Amino acid sequence: MPDSELASESRGESGALDFEPISRETVSSQIRAQLLRRIITGELAPGARMPSERELAEQFRVARTSVREAMQGLLSLGVVERRGNRSFVAEHLPDVVVDQPDGRKDFVAQLFETRRVLEVPIFALAAVRADDSARAQVTDLADRFHANLDISDFRRLDREFHTTVASACGNPLLIELYGKVLDRLFRSEEFDALLSDEQNRSEVRRIVSDAAAAHESIALAFATGDIEEMERCTRDHVGAVAQAMVDDLI
Amino acid sequence: MPDSELASESRGESGALDFEPISRETVSSQIRAQLLRRIITGELAPGARMPSERELAEQFRVARTSVREAMQGLLSLGVVERRGNRSFVAEHLPDVVVDQPDGRKDFVAQLFETRRVLEVPIFALAAVRADDSARAQVTDLADRFHANLDISDFRRLDREFHTTVASACGNPLLIELYGKVLDRLFRSEEFDALLSDEQNRSEVRRIVSDAAAAHESIALAFATGDIEEMERCTRDHVGAVAQAMVDDLI
DNA sequence: ACAAATGGTCTGACCGTCTGACCGTGCTAG
DNA sequence: CTAGCACGGTCAGACGGTCAGACCATTTGT
């Protein structure tokens, strides 16, 4: 191999610049992966009914054939079962798939660890960077919490509150990641279970009123741009909810 | 819409769990993107000869048809020219391709803010939770950095180092989010530009050797489980790289 | 002048995907 | 009880992206 170039662009080493490998992810494999993840995390709970193929096709904006192919994969993995005309998540997931032994408590712990890692600095940043209208909006939102709020209203409001504060931090990437965490939290069985515990209404009521108070403090720190107070309040709030959720799981 | 569920699995809101969009990146579009990046960063310098289509096809492990399709794109963008039997990078790149309006500095700032938010606590957790084999592995990895490492080797090693440390934190969700951030960083043109700046080799060399030293310190703190030191080193390291990248952009 | 390298063009095949249709079955509202 | 409907199962046809070749014309380098 003659190296006859005289000028400019010798590559130095072997002359070959190396490229990233070309990825060939197929549509159905992506769908399979996404569904599998929802199943493993319990968002699609064992025994629950799967969305219909047509529905999935519409949501993914993809042909039903592709969804079916993905389903075949899950079927043969044993994580999805067909009964009659319906598809269900398998009652007992094969061990091959599920390799997290005592998932639930760990899962909740991880969720809140992640939330703490993100939420405290994000809220702190937001407290510094928010404009006046955002501050007013958050104060307003915090005022709408009552101790005796309907559960589903509380959930909606709770989520809106956190999202609103976060979006004042001015960093779209952080907001996106934080959104993913909130998504998993609000979709998780465990969070559902915590708030819709029929046996323990008084406990639920306490959680709601505590959260209302915490949001009030956060909103205050937010309105005044007090960063240390913001960090303290947020940390306490996340810690308290995490504690309640872990207790609920025992 | 009646809320007739009494027990378990009410999904709360609209009942529809929403999925990530399915990506449909074609082989040729990926090739086009990779070539374009090499051209913009100057790795493929203006006026330099392009590798032959057959050669590219072999490197990408792809049919020549796909390479040609990518080339057509670059050709019509005006960043590649055919002269006689040869392809060359255009002498003067069309402005359309070269300049991102202004978002660049913001983008980099946001990327590193996010990285700092995640990386510092993740590395701290990892320092506490890692097992012996992970500690040994990280020490080993840090030792493989030299001041005069090949750029592409450095990138690979750099990424592996960060990924390896992070995966010792024991929280899959955190690892996943951190992975997304690293992805964006390593895929970004800006990072590419920083490390493959042909005009400024000495600066690049300084960055590489600084990073090598920083990784050494991090590995040490990691090996001994010194959490405060770990936080300090990580914060400094991220800050330094961020600074270098912002400087490069001016 | 000649051989090698390169781009241009074409072909046949394969696969993943889309579209749209039709079938049988089981659930459910009238 | 029955008709309608939602669902999974299946099929046929088309299309685009990709691959592996082959062949040609031209340029390049010796």
pLDDT digits (tens, 9 = 90+) for B162-215: 999 999 999 999 999 999 899 888 877 777 777 766 667 777 788 888 889 999
Residue among A177, A190, A140 nearest A160 (CA): A140
- Cross-chain CB nearest to B174 (options A51, A114, A184): A114
Does the pLDDT value for residue B97 go beyond 90?
Answer: no
- Sequence-separated (6 or more) residues with CB below 8 Å from residue B220: B139, B229
pLDDT at A99: 59
Angle at B221 between CA B218 and CA B227, to 5 degrees: 110
| Contact across the interface for B18 and A118, Cβ inside 8 Å | no
Whether CATH 3.40.309.10 fits B27-97: no
* A106 contacts on B by Cβ (under 8 Å): none
Closest residue in B to A188 (Cα) is: B11
Residue among A175, A248, A236, A189 nearest A211 (CA): A236
* A105 contacts on B by Cβ (under 8 Å): none
State the CB neighbour count (10 A cutoff) for residue A42. 19
- Cross-chain CB nearest to A177 (options B34, B51, B114): B114
Residue whose CA is minimally distant from C18 C1': A63
Which class for B121: exposed (0-12), middle (13-18), buried (19 or more C-beta within 10 A)?
buried
Question: How far does the CA of A49 sit from the C1' of D7, in Å?
Answer: 12
* B38 contacts on A by Cβ (under 8 Å): 17
Instruction: Classify A216 as helix, strand or coil.
Output: helix
Instruction: Classify A83 as helix, strand or coil.
Output: strand
Domain with CATH 1.20.120.530 in chain B: 100-249
| Contact across the interface for A172 and B110, Cβ inside 8 Å | yes
Task: Report the distance separating Cα B206 and Cα B128, nearest Å.
Answer: 31
Confidence of residue B7 (pLDDT cuts 50, 70, 90): very low
Task: Report the distance separating Cα B210 and Cα A132, nearest Å.
Answer: 42
Instruction: Report the pLDDT averaged over residues B54-77.
Output: 94
Confidence of residue A5 (pLDDT cuts 50, 70, 90): very low
Kindly give the pairing relationship between strand A80-83 and strand A86-89.
antiparallel
Residue among B217, B194, B70, B67 nearest B138 (CA): B217
Does the pLDDT value for residue A1 go beyond 70?
Answer: no
Confidence of residue A73 (pLDDT cuts 50, 70, 90): very high
- Cross-chain CB nearest to B19 (options A20, A34, A117): A34
| Contact across the interface for B114 and A174, Cβ inside 8 Å | yes
**Lowest mean pLDDT, pick from A13-17, A203-207, B106-110:** A13-17
Confidence of residue A209 (pLDDT cuts 50, 70, 90): confident
Helix B103-129, helix A103-129: angle, nearest 10: 140
Angle at B154 between CA B213 and CA B108, to 5 degrees: 85
* A114 contacts on B by Cβ (under 8 Å): 171, 173-174, 177
Task: Report the distance separating Cα B213 and Cα B97, nearest Å.
Answer: 36
Question: How far does the CA of B183 sit from the C1' of D19, in Å?
Answer: 30
Confidence of residue A12 (pLDDT cuts 50, 70, 90): very low
Residue among B91, B190, B114 nearest A8 (CA): B91
B62 touches strand D (CB under 7 A): yes
Strand partners, A89: A80
| Contact across the interface for B111 and A173, Cβ inside 8 Å | yes
pLDDT at B13: 39
Q: Contact at 8 Å (CB) between B117 and A174?
A: yes
* A24 contacts on B by Cβ (under 8 Å): 27
- Please give the DSSP secondary-structure letter assigned to residue A231: H
Task: Report the distance separating Cα B126 and Cα A161, nearest Å.
Answer: 31
High-pLDDT (> 90) share of chain A, %: 48
The highest-confidence range among A50-64, A194-208, B95-109, by mean pLDDT, is A50-64
- Please give the DSSP secondary-structure letter assigned to residue B142: H
Task: Report the distance separating Cα A67 and Cα A32, nearest Å.
Answer: 8
Helix B103-129, helix B201-224: angle, nearest 10: 30
**Lowest mean pLDDT, pick from A27-36, A151-160, A190-199, B66-75:** A190-199
| Contact across the interface for B171 and A110, Cβ inside 8 Å | yes
Name the CATH topology of B100-249: Four Helix Bundle (Hemerythrin (Met), subunit A) (1.20.120)
| pLDDT, greater one: B179 or A109 | B179
pLDDT at B244: 82
Does the pLDDT value for residue A217 go beyond 60?
Answer: yes
| Contact across the interface for A173 and B114, Cβ inside 8 Å | yes
Which ipTM was obtained for this model? 0.71
Closest residue in A to B123 (Cα) is: A117
- Cross-chain CB nearest to B171 (options A18, A114, A155): A114
Mean pLDDT of chain A: 83
- Sequence-separated (6 or more) residues with CB below 8 Å from residue B109: B242, B246
Instruction: Report the pLDDT averaged over residues A26-35.
Output: 91
pLDDT digit string, tens, across residues A113-166: 999 999 999 999 999 999 999 999 999 999 888 777 787 788 889 999 999 999
Q: Contact at 8 Å (CB) between B109 and B250?
A: no
Question: How far does the CA of B14 sit from the C1' of C9, in Å?
Answer: 55
Does the pLDDT value for residue A176 go beyond 80?
Answer: yes
Q: What is the signed CA dihedral for B69, B75, B79, B84, rounded to 10 degrees?
A: 120
Strand partners, B243: none
A180 touches strand D (CB under 7 A): no
| Contact across the interface for B17 and A114, Cβ inside 8 Å | no
Confidence of residue A7 (pLDDT cuts 50, 70, 90): very low
- Sequence-separated (6 or more) residues with CB below 8 Å from residue B143: B216, B219
| Angstroms from A240 CA to nearest CA on chain B | 20
Quote the tokens at residue B164: 């390896």
Domain with CATH 1.10.10.10 in chain B: 27-97
| Contact across the interface for A152 and B12, Cβ inside 8 Å | yes
Task: Report the distance separating Cα A186 and Cα A198, nearest Å.
Answer: 18
B50 touches strand C (CB under 7 A): yes
State the CB neighbour count (10 A cutoff) for residue B208. 21
CATH number for the domain formed by residue range(s) A103-249 = 1.20.120.530
Length of chain B: 250
A87 touches strand D (CB under 7 A): yes
Instruction: Report the pLDDT averaged over residues B26-45.
Output: 88
